[in-house]
């Protein structure tokens, strides 16, 4: 009975915590979703006939979708995908890419998300190719970069199960599975290393996107004391890794390994 009471208390605490996080009731969430969807559809229909009305409708859609995320505590790939589409139609490449990236984290195999993300990236004025070293690594270890983490994890679990099955059969003396076991062992090590490296990289550096239309990167965290890092400003949609933070400023590393300080209000974390 004591264990049952303890489990009951834990369950109640978890339910209370979930309700505390979800500030919006189910009815309000459903109403917001309907409002956001209807406004988005109206914005798409009116783009050619009445651009101003279309912008107002898309703004209403973005506001409703954002409330679902921020106040409703909803983590949904579809929701982020819709937000990305709405921001893209409003001409905000930075926030469109940020939300497509969030959607891709939750829907790694969705072709529509990948396609829209790639389309938005092509619209970014700045072309920042990766370093030669990164290009070589991407070519050699294409499976690490191109295959979603969930797929690699699934393959890792399958190979790991087959490995232990083969080892068990070998110990029982029923089958000699030396080479298949070796191959499965190599696959487990390779896939496990790939997942470990990706997770370590993710923990070491947060990622973000520039959302301000145009921003000047500085050599230090002070616009009046430090010179620009580059000749030209950076534009919305440029993606980066976060290196360091100071009040009001973020030190970022671009995909070509150049570093610069950006105002915190000009960027958005993914």
Report domain extents, the chain: 17-122, 132-204, 207-269
Q: Which of 187, 192, 162 is nearest to 177 (CA)?
A: 162
Which H or E run includes 139? helix 132-140
Residue-level pLDDT, tens digit, the chain, 270 residues? 343 343 333 333 333 444 444 578 889 999 999 999 999 999 999 999 999 999 999 999 999 999 999 998 888 999 999 999 999 999 999 999 999 999 998 888 789 999 999 999 999 999 887 766 565 656 666 666 667 777 888 888 988 888 888 777 776 555 566 777 788 888 888 888 887 877 666 655 689 999 999 999 999 999 999 999 999 999 999 999 999 999 999 999 999 999 999 999 999 998
What is residue 1's three-state secondary structure? coil
- Euclidean distance between CA atoms 91 and 55, whole angstroms: 10
Identical topology for domains 17-122 and 207-269: no
Token output for 85: 């589409």
- Euclidean distance between CA atoms 33 and 63, whole angstroms: 11
Q: Residue 176, Cβ neighbours under 10 Å: how many? A: 11
Domain 17-122 coded CATH 1.25.40.10 = yes
| pTM for this prediction | 0.73
Token output for 223: 């616009």
Sign of CA dihedral 59, 60, 61, 63: positive
- Euclidean distance between CA atoms 126 and 237, whole angstroms: 8
Please state which CATH class domain 207-269 belongs to. mainly beta
């Amino acid at each position: 009975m004591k264990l049952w009471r303890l489990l009951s208390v834990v369950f109640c605490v978890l339910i209370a915590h979930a309700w505390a996080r979800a500030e919006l009731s189910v009815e309000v969430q459903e109403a917001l979703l309907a409002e956001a969807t209807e406004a988005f559809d109206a914005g798409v229909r009116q783009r050619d006939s009445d651009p101003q009305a279309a912008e107002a409708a898309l703004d209403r859609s973005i506001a409703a979708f954002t409330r679902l995320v921020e106040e409703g505590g909803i983590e949904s790939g579809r929701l982020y995908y819709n937000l990305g589409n709405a921001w893209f139609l409003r001409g905000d490449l930075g926030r469109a890419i940020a939300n497509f990236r969030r959607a891709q984290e939750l829907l790694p195999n969705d072709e529509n998300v990948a396609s829209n993300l790639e389309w938005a990236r092509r619209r970014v004025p700045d072309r920042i190719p990766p370093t030669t070293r990164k290009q070589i690594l991407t070519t050699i270890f294409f499976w690490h970069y191109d295959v979603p983490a969930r797929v690699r994890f699934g393959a890792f679990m399958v190979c790991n199960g087959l490995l232990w099955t083969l080892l068990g059969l070998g110990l029982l003396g029923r089958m000699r599975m030396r080479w298949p076991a070796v191959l499965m062992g190599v696959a487990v090590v390779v896939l496990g290393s790939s997942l470990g490296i990706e997770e370590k990289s993710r923990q070491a550096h947060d990622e973000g996107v520039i959302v301000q239309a145009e921003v000047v990167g500085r050599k230090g965290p002070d616009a009046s004391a430090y010179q620009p890092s580059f000749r030209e400003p950076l534009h919305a949609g440029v993606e980066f890794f976060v290196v360091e933070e100071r009040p009001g400023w973020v030190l970022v590393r671009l995909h070509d390994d150049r570093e610069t300080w950006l105002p915190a209000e000009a960027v958005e974390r993914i």
